[in-house]
Amino acid sequence: MSRPTVYVLSDSIGETAEHVAKAVASQFPATDFRYRRIPYISDHADIDEVIRRASEQPSILIYTLVTRQLKTYLDEQAAARGLTAIDLMNPLMKAFSDTFSLEVGSEPGGMRKLDDDYFRKISAIEFAVRYDDAQDPSGILKADLVIVGVSRTSKTPLSMYLAHQAYKVTNIPLVPEVPVPDELYEVPPERCVGLIINPEKLNNIRQERLKTMGLRPDSDYARFDRILGELEYAEKIMKRLGCPVIDVTARAVEETAHYILDTLNIERRTL
């Protein structure tokens, strides 16, 4: 039997609709859904192709189409083929319009307009890439947030996640043989956070990392006594910095990021 397929159509990128679809699908853990995102829908031909493909397998269509003509055409074609098509945008847009007495616009991709927030986010992402992993210590005093920790504690993923929220973040690896940059000790504690992790968990992560790199699992990088030494060294540095310390052992990157913002009392940014 074909896998149930969710077609996500949008006249923009379609990320919002796909996130909603996956959130709903997570309530059906026994089913392995397949997702097909079709961005930048601009004419009837685009819709016809999706309808044709969706008719060949168990499918549902969800969409965020602002242009009324495209929305109407999709609804008609889906109904003609007996397909379920769910409009994620227009019911909420109507509620806004009716409740607040507002006129509905019809600008596709309006959420992605090049406004100040957009450029602020792009600047933060570029900052995170440039100053990742202590490549350039000059970024330490320019950052909104400095993350420190031993290797494989998700410093880079955290930096990038927070960058997408428009925070300029740099991260510094703590390695016993490598002195930390002097600039690190000039950072106020409220702009710095240290990451720690359970040594057994870190040992497993590093062994898997070595496998993917084709290296021996008994390398110093994954030796348990080496890991204990690194964590002890890192905790000494964090104590000297006076920064909050967060255990990331059982935390997802998103959860850790939110916890950091709450711990440091940093205002959340919604873009």
Q: Which residues are annotated as a binding site?
A: 149-156
Instruction: Give the CA dihedral 92, 98, 102, 105, nearest 10 degrees.
Output: 40
Closest by Cα among 191, 199, 184 to 237: 184
CA distance 37 to 67: 18
Residue type, 87: D
Q: What is the DSSP string of 60-107?
A: EEEEE--SHHHHHHHHHHHHHTT-EEEESSHHHHHHHHHHHT------
Q: What is the DSSP string of 188-246?
A: -GGGEEEEE--HHHHHHHHHHHHHHTT--TTSGGG-HHHHHHHHHHHHHHHHHHT--EE
CA distance 61 to 85: 5
Closest by Cα among 245, 244, 249, 242 to 227: 249
Binding site for ADP: what residues are annotated? Answer: 149-156
Closest by Cα among 189, 188, 191, 151 to 172: 151
Q: Is 149 exposed, middle or buried (0-12, 13-18, 19+ CB in 10 A)?
A: buried
